[in-house]
Structure 1
Amino acid sequence: MVEKGDVMLKRINTTQPLRTLIVEDSEDDTLLLVDQLEMEGGRSVDWQRVDTEKALTEALQQHWDIVLSDYTMPHLSGMRALEVVRQHDLDLPFIFVSGTIGENTAVKAMKSGAQDYVMKGNLSRLMPAVARELEEAQQRRQRRQAEQRVRKLSLVVEQAADSVLITDPNGLVEYVNPAFERMTGYGRDEIIGNKPSLLKSGRHDQAFYHAIWETVTKGEIFSGTLINRRKNGELFYEEKVIAPLKDEQGHVTHLVSTGRDITERVKADEARAQLVAILEATTDLVAILDPDGCLHYLNNAGYRLLGFDPKLDLSKFCLTELFPERIKQQLQSEAWPIAYRTGSWSGETALRRMDEIEVPVSQVLLVHRDAAGKVEYLSTIARDISERKRFEAELQHQATHDTLTGLPNRILLMDRLSAEVERARHANNSVAVLFLDIDNFKRINDSMGHTIGDALLQHIADRLKAALRPNDTIARHGGDEFAVIAGDLPRSENVLAVLRKIYSAFERPMSLGAQEAYITFCTGIAIYPNDGADVEELLRNAGTAMYRAVIAGHNQYRFYAPEMNARSHELLTLETDLRLAFKRNEFVAYYQPQVELSTGRIIAMEGLIRWQHPQRGLISPGDFVSMLEESGLIMPVGEWMLSQACAEYKEMGLHNMRISVNVSASQFNDPGLLRKISRIMKQENMPSNALELEVTENIVMQDPAAAADTLKKLRTLGVRIAIDDFGTGYSSLSYLKRFPLDALKIDQSFVRDLTHDTNDAAIVEASITLGKKLGLEVVAEGVETKEQFEFLRAHGCDLAQGYYVSRPLSKIELIDLLQEERRW
């Protein structure tokens, strides 16, 4: 028996159940219907009973094979149910099954869209009625689909661009589409009932037409070109296909002719021969290309300009392959889109000959479309403008460069400074403008002559170019004044490195004919953005600073901002002292302990460099490391720090502890790094597992592939490797996973506020989790409070380093601390 309920049930497990929607208020009657369908139909029934309009509407969202409905129900009438079903699907079979429906009512229901009715007292009619309606529903759907296909095909034929003409087997026209009317000028009324011979032009003999008729009446397809005549008398060329339609017995019932007016194409073919002769005679390159841009034709001038062998297969070359890479990008991003949008593009490019020589050309690119708007082909014309370019370049150089020294003049100086200021504005950097006035130049010029003076200016220009960076601009500002633009300065103080290079370049004397002389300058310096936000203001203020330097005496420099003069003097003095510090052994090693959070014991320490200045006292790295990098001292000083840490590790008698040392970018990129570390470890008898090298995140991400190779080589020495300042760079997790790392150090900027900044706390927690997932030891830097310490301990961080544990200590102070055996 079928169990009661309003949901779909399935009693017989067959592959294709009959899906039946039953509109019935009586559950017992519903079960009787289902039993009857399954017993008589021999298949399972998926069914659902509904008795309200809402339930019916929701149920119709599913697929059903048939709907059975009572006629009289308390919540929904059978006629309303029929109306709802028909609004949803015109073809879904609908049968009334009722005990109250009369003959007149049944007729009304049938007229309203029901397929049949069955009395509840005579359910033996149910299954035959259902089977019949299912079959008829399928037929209705097939007829409807066929009708839709016919309508679509009719629309296609009516809207086709090609002409369509249909005749009976005797050649009498039965149908033409609008394209035929447009092509021939004849209307449907004029052509239907006539023969296509109405279009004869007299250009073909009778044998030609006889051959066509013989072909199609045999049931074969004719394809060819006809010269026909329009209604207005004009001749036109038609590309025609005539295909016979056959019935089931193979007899030809109709002939279908499709045609396309190719008059323009034929005329173009006739004109092409004349055009080719003209193209071959021109001295400009002319090329025709397919829509993909590959060569289809190249004239003789093109072969010569490109250095092509006349026997070369052009189809192997596309237009973009004839240009250097930069020009190719210009064409793809600018020329092609404009040409395809507007039909043409013109501009100056450069072709690349077969011998790799670039040839500047003035080029026009044209896109040719057919009548339907489809790109048919491309063409391009290119004229060699090498001579013009050489002349223009010479004029441009003369307009923007000093004739005597070859340096940029004031015009180009202002242009370059404008570009540097804009770049610095986006990068948040500084730009320095330096005006250099040669001391005593007038005396040299007057006493030794203008020839010597001119030669001196040329030599000065050469020395300045040799001393400064390629991206710095050196200009002759006029007379005995030079100007320098130094960009990409992270800090204002970085201009001192530029100033030092200039002064160093003139420490050697210069030849003045048979004599030698030392050349000095008075220099004025203005810095963007502090001393001016635009070009004119910066140049004006640099000039003002230079005049102050001139007033101060020979070989002086002055900043426009007074506070910079004192600061620069301090920095230059400090830099001079720094160069002597290494020779005088003024550097010392300090150590900051690292505590294991799980035990509270010191198990490691980081080696930190300090400068014991004879007058200034102990100087921290932040005040001099950047100078070490700029002066090139970072390499020997970094090597000293590593050697010192290893030596003092042995002197302090440390056991079961490790010491970490920072590796700078210059050291990391040093090809001899591996050899130097290996030598120091052997020399100091340093256990490999006791040494950890710290490399910042930004260093390894500059060239991840090369960094991975260097790290793997370092790992062969047995040393540990840690990523320092983690979270401040732009690490790719996929690279971090590939690097042979042992530890990552969370930067102190995240640790500092973690107890009252939820974002920092989340970053620290995520970093710890990431480290654990990658199998790395996690060290937190900058731990200054007990709350930070306990947070890190609670979240599974391995080590903590910072002033809460201890400030950096000298060797003696560290030994005293370790002897206390203190726990945190």
Structure 2
Amino acid sequence: MTCPGRFVMTNIEGAIMRKSTGLNLLEHLNIPSINYQMIYDDKMTPLDLVFQGGISHPQAVSSEEVPDGSFIDNFASELKALCLSGAAEQRVVTFEVGDKSGGEWFKGVAVPRGPEGGSLYFNRMSDCSAFEQERDSIISAMSDILFVVDENFFVRRIFTADQAYRHFALENIVGKNLWEIFSEDFIVEQQKVFERVKATGSLQTVTFPSDLYESGRWYEARITHHIWEGSGHYVVGMTDITFTRQLSKEVEELSAEINNFFSMELVLFAVIDLQGNLKRVNKAWEGLLGYPVDELTTKSFEELIHPDDLKNTQRKAKQLMDKQTIIHITNRFRAKDGTYKYLEWHSKLDGDLIYSSVRDVTEGIQRQEEIEFLDFHDQQTGLFNRKALRTMGDEIVRTSREGLRWGAYFIDIDNYSAVNNALGHAEGDRILVQIADSIARHFEEEGISYRYEGDEFVVLSRSGGTEEMIAHAKKLLSSIPTRITLTQRVFMITVSIGIALGAEGERINGVIEKAQTALFKAKLVRNTYAVYEPRLELNRTREMILAEDFPRALEREQLRIELQPILDVKKGIVCQAEALLRWHHPEFGEISPVEFIPIAEATKLIVPITEWIVRQVCAMLLRIDTHPEHRLTIAINLSAISLENQGGVFFERVREIIETTGVEASQLKFEITESTLITDYLGIMDTFNELKKLGVKFALDDFGTGYSSFAYLKELPFDAIKIDRSLISSLNRDSKEQILVRSLIAIIHSLAYEVVVEGVETPEQYELLKEYGSDYVQGFLFSRSLGEDAFVEYYREAL
């Protein structure tokens, strides 16, 4: 069997061409056994034969051991043209040549080295079958399927190493026109490519989709033109690039997605190397930290992270590298302006790089810090509050150094309520803040200051002993300003201090209670200190006990309201009553208002207690079945503290209670004393007028016991004047007293006010007052104060 010479031309990838020797090319073309290398010049004249024995073991040989170059002469014209063409275009030429008469066959490649020549790498082939086998190996390494197509586009031959392709190709492709195999559009689109290949002899590569073997596949076709069996043919080598194309597309999409991430300005991304250097960041960092991206990527973690967060971050980074897991950490990064931002990192190690998505959590953390600050600090003074004291106290003591004891100072402003009453809360708050600052500054190095409640403060202090604490108390007393001038008025402000030194292991609450007990002793003198002693617990005075217990009397339901009837003299019926507050102490029994009202005013509990009384009285009015023609009016005593002009706070409370309960405002009467008017006349007048507009009535109580200034009667529109019991104690036997009372009643009537006389205890007093024209009387002659049920019974009988 004779086999004609055949020539197959192919391109080798540029990367291979640049680094290749002839051996590299032969390996790439899957030609494992090459015996000879022949170097030729520009005229295709053999110059030297340099090795034999295969690629893996080249050996120099003598010229006697190799064939001469006569085989080249047999194919000189074709081979020379191809080799020189390849040299001109820097292409590799693969050749297969043989003696048509059945002589030796050779196959190999010609590698051009420029215009000066090149090298031939070739083998002897013993027969055509061996040649065909080797040739198919070469072709299968080059393409999935290779078509030999005539110039009329009919498929003449197919080469493929894939058995599935081979069966399919033989059954469906060989002998058919490319127009039948591919779409007409393919031939039309690629016709110019085929023409260019034929005209230039160059290789052209095209990429296209085809359902040739399976739908949705993509192919790359390498097209060349050769003389085969005496006529021109196209050689089309097709490679399925579907997977490569999909992979390339996925890589492109992933790359685009990554680039998209790094171009985002709302989300932070960063790539960091194992040395902690920022290798890549996106644009969003510029807006957050103020560094341009180029500048930021020249910095390391250590340069930007807050020093206090560095150690923990390094520990987390080690954990990331050791466990190959995702880590989450929050730390502070320094911005260009020197401020720090809180950043939350989610990081993963991949190779030698750490990839992180980062979130700015500064606002959230700062908001949390603000909430915690507000929760544990007094808003008025800025000191820690009572909640902080409960939360932190024992922990502070527990973590203190061994051998160092903790003490407590309980501090109270002595006459703060008087200033508040006279000037109102605005000025009173200024004094409170001023004293709080003095306390905080004094104990800044030695302790922690808290606002306990109202005008009381607690200081927890490290102490070496009682004497040291006494020294601090004396210094504090001397540092508190005793004369304060506000709105051209001078006030004397002092503090009292209770001191207690904690025993080893003692809970801080116990120490504070001891300091408070000592404070009660100091308050008896004022402007001084007292040290806790165990005997104070045994020898507490009645005043100390009441002062300590009264703040919890309301919540313990120890307070109640009784009503004392007031008789209408002309009608002889009960149409009014006075609400009187009573306190039943569990140890001392009934406590006189003379004792507990000053405590209520000093602690300012009188304000919520008064509001409670108003609410209870309104509820009573709704429960009592009043006569339709004689509606019951109940009088309530008011303290100056409740009447201070606090932006109408007390007025709003009263209005809200009246609206909620549905009681008529005219059924409420507030009684205020002359001493109240003297304390803060202008402040009281504002609230007084607001309540009058609402319909509430007012009476001036205890008239005749103070200055008895008729100026108040002219300036403030009272509804009634109550003459104090002290003016009628000798009324039935003292003629001067009779003249005085008769004259007072006449004057009050001339000013259009009603007269109420309290303290009536004898029928003689009552008859005289009735004769003088008193409108109402009140006293033990008619009834003591009664509980609600007893009053209702008395009231209905008296109608």
The TM-score bracket by the shorter chain reads: 0.3 to 0.5
TM-score norm. by structure 2 comes to: 0.36
TM-score norm. by structure 1 comes to: 0.35
Larger Rg: 2
